[in-house]
């Protein structure tokens, strides 16, 4: 069982993504229970996988009985196990949350919604688990196709943003594929572990340098790194509210994972910081992205667009953290990725709830949250505090480790960038608090529906998770230090 | 520079096609033309991979008789072909999804020109 566990982690959601249209054709009501049941079992299996990795070391599975590097290898190690747990649990909560919204927003498109969401989860799992560069490209494209359609599934304005996302995403994937081609031409292998052994001999060649640049550029488009984030604000703003918690929390994190895997595991820390000093460049890009994203977020009227720019800012912070070159910085970055997954799911969940109950979509509309939605307001408050970095939430500990890592590396511009972006984040969230709690209610009373139980429950669980991750940050950081740190620090 | 054109003409062809694809995507306002550019760009990468597999005086990678010993030099590298088979499938599915989106956009806005769509969205 354990040797084929990586395969199961992909097969469970993929099989369900195929089964749902078949079963849903006879009765749509079965879609939701199948999807949720699948994700519950996926979460259990991925937690099992992580605990197996922590106690017995990495698991690897060869497909078709061909030993790597000839065959395709899938690996669960500390990093991929941790990401897999985050993906499966957050996607489960997002789909629980989406239930009432799907019926309201996407009537008649329930089957495609659940099927595509599971396909997306399967592809993200495949990207996280695979140990093969070309295999990663295939899953990158499967996942991207599912997310293009999820962005545009509601029709209307979202179609155009989905089309732009598709065009830019395809350019990104093509650049990635081109980079893989350069590596293959130079080394003759696609397996990551094998590539890591063969690269030092040819590290001076221009083909490797160009290939790495293409790969980083392609993945940067996919992860929405400033200034290549063009598709992201529109896609997140106009995508249906039922899809955004899933899209915003995990879809950009997995290309980031692919970058981290290639930079730190295939190339190695010393290579990317000295021989091909790409981390220096990315550190500056990250610092600019963290500040520019937060600055742009201040001026947005639409709540979801504000959160989208906040995602751009977070992506800059991750890049900054991974480029610090210290163990604490790397681990802190990883912790902040996990925290941000929860925060973005909560915040976009709040946006969905506000839309469901009173049609609110702008920051000003959020004043209506005060009327009848204590649960949603509490979730908004706690997740916003976590975004700003107020203890005891997960965001505080994430940023704390980032600052400690930056001080250890003696990179004071990074410390300054983290602090400035946090202050700007505080600015736009406090502006929002002022609208929600300090301004008088509008005279025309909006019709406010009761919060449906699935939304209440999922927001409650996410908020609880944020505080639990904050209080248990020592435990998680211990886990990261023990099993998810690359060699070379 | 002249060396590259003389001895590596396939790389030059690849670069021209790739840049042409990106240029068409960026410049044209018509959504279908954008997709043509996108597909051209994807196809140029397929050309790049396929030309990596070529060797001088080599044949297709099918072993005809098991009597003689297999010499790798005599066969073209099959791996890039297999990779590109997958990449073609990926490209076709991307094109399929994007054409479906173009149809949906046309039904909604009655035009395929991006500037007119943006104008109607306001």
Whether A421 contacts A294, CB under 8 Å? yes
Q: What's the CA gap between B45 and A104, in Å, rounded?
A: 43
How many pairs of residues across A and B have Cβ atoms under 8 Å apart?
Answer: 68
What pLDDT does A218 receive?
A: 93
User: DSSP readout, B70-121?
Assistant: P-GGGB--HHHHHHHHHHHHHHHHHHHHHHHHHHHHHHHHS--BHHHHHHHH
Interface test with chain A among B29, B104, B113, B114, by most A beta carbons within 10 Å:
B104
In the prediction, which pLDDT does A444 show? Answer: 58
pLDDT at A367: 75
Calpha distance A246→A13 (Å, rounded): 15
Q: Which residues from B are below 8 Å from A163, CB to CB?
A: 31, 98, 101-102, 105
A71 touches chain B (CB under 8 A): no
Res. A271: pLDDT tops 90:
no
* Other CB atoms within 10 Å distance of the CB of residue A255: 28
Measured between beta carbons, the chain B residues lying within 8 angstroms of A155 are 104, 108
Pick from A134, A163, A174: CB nearest B101: A163
- Average pLDDT in the A113-139 region? 91
CB A290 within 8 A of CB A312: no
Nearest to B104 among A134, A159, A167 (CB): A159
Q: Which two tokens stand for residue A160?
A: 């155009």
Would you call A160 an interface residue with chain B, using a CB distance cutoff of 8 Å?
Answer: yes
Architecture of the domain defined by B2-56+73-121:
Orthogonal Bundle (1.10)
What is the helix (H) or strand (E) element at residue B30, kind and residue range?
A: none
pLDDT of A1 > 60? The answer is no
- Comparing alpha-carbon positions, the chain B residue that sits nearest to A156 is B108
The helix (H) or strand (E) run that includes residue A226 is: none
CA dihedral (A117, A22, A43, A102) in degrees, to 10, reads 40
- Predicted pLDDT of residue A442: 63
- Identify the residue whose tokens are 């350019």: A171
Query: Is residue A429 predicted with pLDDT exceeding 90?
Result: no
Calculate ∠ Cα B114-B119-B120, nearest 5°.
Answer: 100
pLDDT in tens, A39-48: 999 999 889 8
Is A164 within 8 Å of chain B by CB? Answer: no
Average pLDDT, chain A: 86
Contacts of A138 in chain B (CB under 8 A): 86, 90
Specify whether the CB–CB gap between A55 and A70 falls below 8 A: no
**For B42, which residue in chain A has the nearest alpha carbon?**
A174
pLDDT higher than threshold 90 for residue A220: yes
Q: Point out the residue among A152, A156, A181 whose CB comes nearest to the CB of B101.
A: A152
**Dihedral pair phi/psi, residue A116, rounded to 5°:** -70, -35
Condensed to tens digits (0 to 9), the pLDDT of residues A50-65 reads 888 888 878 888 877 7
Which residue in the set A148, A149, A155 is minimally distant from B108, CB to CB? A155
- Mean pLDDT within A456-482: 86
pLDDT band per the 50, 70, 90 thresholds, residue A196: confident
- Reported as a pLDDT band with limits 50, 70 and 90, residue A337 is very high
Looking at chain A, the number of H-run helices and the number of E-run strands are 21, 2
Residues of B with CB under 8 A from a CB of A: 18, 22, 25, 31, 34, 38, 41-42, 45, 48-49, 52, 79-80, 83, 86-87, 90, 93-94, 97-98, 101-102, 104-105, 108, 117-118, 121
**A69 vs A371: which has the higher pLDDT:** A69
* Contact: A138, B86; criterion CB under 8 Å: yes
Confidence of residue A221 (pLDDT cuts 50, 70, 90): very high
- At residue A119, the pLDDT reads 92
Q: Is A148 on the interface with B (CB under 8 A)?
A: yes
Residue pLDDT, tens place only, A308-320: 999 999 999 999 9
Per-residue pLDDT of chain B (122 residues; tens, 9 = 90+): 677 777 788 888 889 999 999 999 989 989 999 999 999 999 999 999 988 888 877 778 887 777 677 777 778 888 888 899 999 999 999 999 999 999 999 988 888 888 888 888 77
pLDDT at A449 over 70: no
Q: Is the dihedral of CA A237, A241, A247, A248 positive or negative?
A: positive
Q: Is A156 on the interface with B (CB under 8 A)?
A: yes
User: Residue A446 has what pLDDT?
Assistant: 58
> Could you tell me the pLDDT band of residue A445, with boundaries at 50, 70 and 90?
low
Q: Higher confidence at residue B94 or residue A193?
A: B94
Determine the average pLDDT of the residues in A119-133. 91
Is the separation of the CB atoms in A286 and A323 below 8 Å?
A: yes
Asked if the interface predicted TM-score (ipTM) of this complex is over 0.90, the answer is: yes
Per-residue model confidence (pLDDT) at position A100: 82
* pLDDT higher at A358 or A127: A127
* pLDDT, position A2: 57
Average pLDDT for A233-248: 89
- Which residues neighbour B104 within 8 Å (Cβ) at sequence distance 6 or greater? A152, A155, A159
Closest residue to A159, CB basis, from B79, B93, B108: B108
Mean pLDDT of A316-325: 89
Q: Rounded to a whole number, what is the distance in angstroms from the first to the last CA of chain B?
A: 50
Q: Residue A443: pLDDT above 70?
A: no
Partner B contacted by A57 (CB < 8 A): no
The 8-class DSSP code of residue A190 comes to -
What predicted TM-score, i.e. pTM, was given to this entire model? 0.92
Q: Do A134 and B86 touch (CB under 8 A)?
A: yes
Answer whether residue A378 shows pLDDT above 90.
Answer: no
A421–chain B nearest CA distance, Å: 32
Paired tokens of A65: 């009985």
The pLDDT value given to residue B21 = 92
Handedness of CA A371, A376, A382, A385 (dihedral sign): negative
Strand partners, A75: A60
pLDDT at A270 over 80: no
CB contact under 8 A, A163 and B90: no
Mean pLDDT of A383-389: 87
């Amino acid at each position: 069982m354990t040797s084929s566990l990586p395969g199961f982690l992909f097969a469970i959601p993929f099989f369900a993504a195929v089964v749902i249209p078949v079963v849903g054709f006879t009765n749509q009501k079965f879609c939701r229970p199948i999807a949720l049941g699948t994700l519950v079992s996926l979460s259990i299996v991925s937690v099992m996988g992580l605990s197996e990795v922590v106690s017995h070391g990495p698991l690897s599975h060869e497909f078709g009985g061909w030993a790597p590097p000839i065959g395709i290898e899938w690996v669960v190690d500390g990093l991929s196990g941790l990401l897999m747990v985050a993906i499966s649990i957050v996607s489960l909560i997002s789909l629980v949350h989406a239930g009432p919204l799907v019926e309201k927003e996407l009537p008649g498109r329930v089957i495609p919604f659940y099927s595509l969401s599971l396909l997306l989860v399967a592809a993200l799992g495949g990207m996280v688990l695979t140990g093969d560069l070309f295999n990663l490209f295939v899953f990158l494209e499967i996942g991207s196709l599912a997310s293009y359609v999820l962005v545009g599934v509601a029709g209307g304005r979202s179609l155009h943003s989905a089309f732009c996302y598709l065009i830019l995403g395809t350019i990104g994937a093509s650049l990635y594929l081109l980079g893989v081609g350069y590596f293959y031409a130079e080394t003759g292998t696609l397996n990551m572990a094998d590539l890591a052994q063969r690269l030092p001999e040819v590290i001076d060649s221009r083909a490797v340098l160009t290939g790495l640049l293409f790969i980083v550029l392609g993945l940067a488009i996919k992860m929405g790194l400033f200034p290549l984030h063009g598709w992201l604000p529109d896609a997140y703003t106009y995508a249906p509210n039922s899809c955004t918690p899933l899209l915003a929390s995990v879809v950009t994190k997995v290309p980031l994972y692919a970058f981290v895997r290639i930079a730190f595991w295939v190339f190695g820390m010393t290579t990317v910081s000295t021989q091909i000093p790409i981390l220096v460049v990315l550190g500056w890009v990250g610092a600019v992205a963290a500040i520019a994203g937060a600055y742009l977020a201040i001026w947005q009227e639409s709540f979801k667009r504000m959160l989208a720019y906040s995602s751009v800012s977070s992506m800059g912070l991750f890049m900054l953290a991974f480029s610090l070159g210290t163990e604490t910085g790397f681990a802190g970055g990883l912790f902040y990725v996990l925290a941000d997954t929860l925060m973005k799911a909560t915040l976009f969940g709040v946006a969905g709830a506000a839309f469901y109950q009173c049609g609110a979509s702008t920051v000003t509309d959020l004043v209506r949250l005060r009327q009848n939605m204590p649960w949603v307001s509490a979730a908004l408050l706690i997740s916003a505090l976590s975004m700003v970095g107020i203890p005891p939430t997960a965001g505080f500990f994430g940023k704390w480790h980032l600052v400690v890592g930056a001080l250890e590396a003696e990179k004071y511009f990074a410390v300054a960038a983290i602090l400035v972006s946090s202050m700007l984040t505080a600015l736009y969230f406090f502006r929002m608090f002022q609208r929600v709690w300090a301004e008088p209610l509008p005279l025309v009373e909006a019709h406010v529906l009761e919060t449906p139980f699935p939304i209440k429950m999922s927001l409650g669980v996410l908020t609880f998770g944020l505080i639990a991750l904050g209080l248990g940050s020592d435990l998680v950081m211990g886990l990261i230090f023990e099993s998810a740190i690359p060699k070379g620090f | 520079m002249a060396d590259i054109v003389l001895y590596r003409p396939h790389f030059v062809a690849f670069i021209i096609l790739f840049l042409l694809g990106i240029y068409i995507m960026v410049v044209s306002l018509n959504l279908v033309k954008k997709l043509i550019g996108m597909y051209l760009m994807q196809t140029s990468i397929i050309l790049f991979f396929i030309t990596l597999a070529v060797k001088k005086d080599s044949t297709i990678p099918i072993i005809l008789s098991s009597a003689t010993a297999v010499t790798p030099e005599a066969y073209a590298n099959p791996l890039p072909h297999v990779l590109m088979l997958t990449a073609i499938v990926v490209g076709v599915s991307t094109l399929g999804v994007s054409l479906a989106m173009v149809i949906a956009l046309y039904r909604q806005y009655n035009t395929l020109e991006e500037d007119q769509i943006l104008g109607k969205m306001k």
